[in-house]
Amino acid sequence: HLMEFAIIGAGMAGLACGQRLSAAGHGVRLFDKGRGPGGRMSSRRAELGGKAVQFDHGAQYFTARDERFLRQVEAWEADGIVAPWPAAREGAWVGTPAMNAPVKAMAERANVTFGARIEGIRAVGTGWKLCGPDAPREIFDAVISAIPAEQVPALLAASAPEMATLAKQTVSDPCWTVMAVFAERPDLPDTLRNAGAIGWAARNASKPGRGEAECWVVQGSPEWSRTNLEEEREAVATLLLEQLKQHAGGTLPELLHSDAHRWRYAMCGDAGEGALWDASRHIGACGDWLHGPRVENAYLSGWELAQRVLDSA
């Protein structure tokens, strides 16, 4: 029978799940605490001399190996919202004009409320009510958690303790990310990986459909990010750009803009379940932490959760 679902988290996993459930006729509403679409595939804008510049400050690119995700990527490519990025590696895809494009497109076709942080769920009869100041009044037949592992216990500890316990055992690596704009192109290749404190650096402008500005994204390695997790943003930007300078032969062009973003939970562990669905209580969970630390895994986790729901109906 058809149900009304609330999905908490409108990143790749939640949207992929919602897309399949809606296609099967279920009612789906998504709630996301973020201001706009993307989750960990977000893009950040900055003003520079009256012009907007943009950085992919979360996921850098994604790959597609599984047939189910490949079909989705082909559809996105046909819609012009993803394109290959050969500078990173063969088989690398990025959203265009920014990384969040596929998530944004999925969100536009779904019923998503942004700016809505959900703090818990409460049983009401045979249904569920969402808790928190931004929660809607309605009662749902089923609830799905599609948020990072570390945030799951707060949402589900009371209603699905076994899911919360599994999530607690899954630990993510943090990632400090510096966004910088230079006046000219630095003497560096388009991408750098595993270079001391720098886990990854990329010339955002080398991605398809980006502007002319010399925008760079520099990520601390997981170890460096963990050691420096509580540093100030300015200090992190200075330290990682100093590292970048060393890789550029000791000089960098004039710095026009810099900022840093701390991802506390960037690359997740893998609980190895694919997805979780409790068919008697109508509670489910999906997200990269159940499938693997990548965009493709997040999609597949959402896809698999929808499959479990459809199989159990």
Classify 263 as helix, strand or coil. Answer: strand
- Residues 182-221, one symbol each (x = binds ligand FAD by CB under 6 A, - = not), give -------------------------------------x--
Asked if residue 117 binds ligand FAD (CB under 6 A), the reply is: yes
Asked if residue 94 binds ligand FAD (CB under 6 A), the reply is: no
**What is the β-pairing status of strands 214-220 and 255-267?**
unpaired
Asked if residue 300 binds ligand FAD (CB under 6 A), the reply is: no
Q: How far apart are CA 67 and CA 196, in angstroms?
A: 36
Asked if residue 287 binds ligand FAD (CB under 6 A), the reply is: yes
Strands, DSSP E only, in the chain?
4-8, 27-32, 43-48, 51-56, 82-84, 93-95, 112-114, 120-124, 127-131, 139-140, 142-145, 173-182, 191-195, 198-203, 214-220, 255-267, 276-278, 283-285
Q: Is the Cβ of residue 51 or residue 89 nearer to ligand FAD in the bound state?
A: 89
Burial class of residue 225, CB neighbours in 10 A (0-12, 13-18, 19+)? buried
Asked if residue 60 binds ligand FAD (CB under 6 A), the reply is: yes
Tokens representing 195?
A: 């270079």
Q: Is the Cβ of residue 214 or residue 288 nearer to ligand FAD in the bound state?
A: 288
Q: What is the DSSP letter of 29?
A: E
Residue count at the site for ligand FAD (CB under 6 A)?
38
Q: How far is the CB of 271 from ligand FAD (least distance, A)?
A: 12
Burial class of residue 97, CB neighbours in 10 A (0-12, 13-18, 19+)? middle
Q: What is the DSSP letter of 283?
A: E
Interface segment toward ligand FAD; rule CB under 6 A; list 142-150, 161-169, 180-188, 242-250: 142-150
**What is the β-pairing status of strands 142-145 and 4-8?**
parallel
Asked if residue 11 binds ligand FAD (CB under 6 A), the reply is: yes
Interface positions, 16-45, toward ligand FAD (CB under 6 A): 31-34, 39-41
Interface segment toward ligand FAD; rule CB under 6 A; list 54-62, 65-73, 186-194, 236-244: 54-62
CA 165 to chain centre: 22
- Residues 218-257, one symbol each (x = binds ligand FAD by CB under 6 A, - = not), give -x--------------------------------------
Binding site for ligand FAD (CB under 6 A): 8-14, 31-34, 39-41, 58-62, 117-118, 146-148, 151, 155, 175, 177, 219, 263, 266-267, 287-288, 293-295, 298
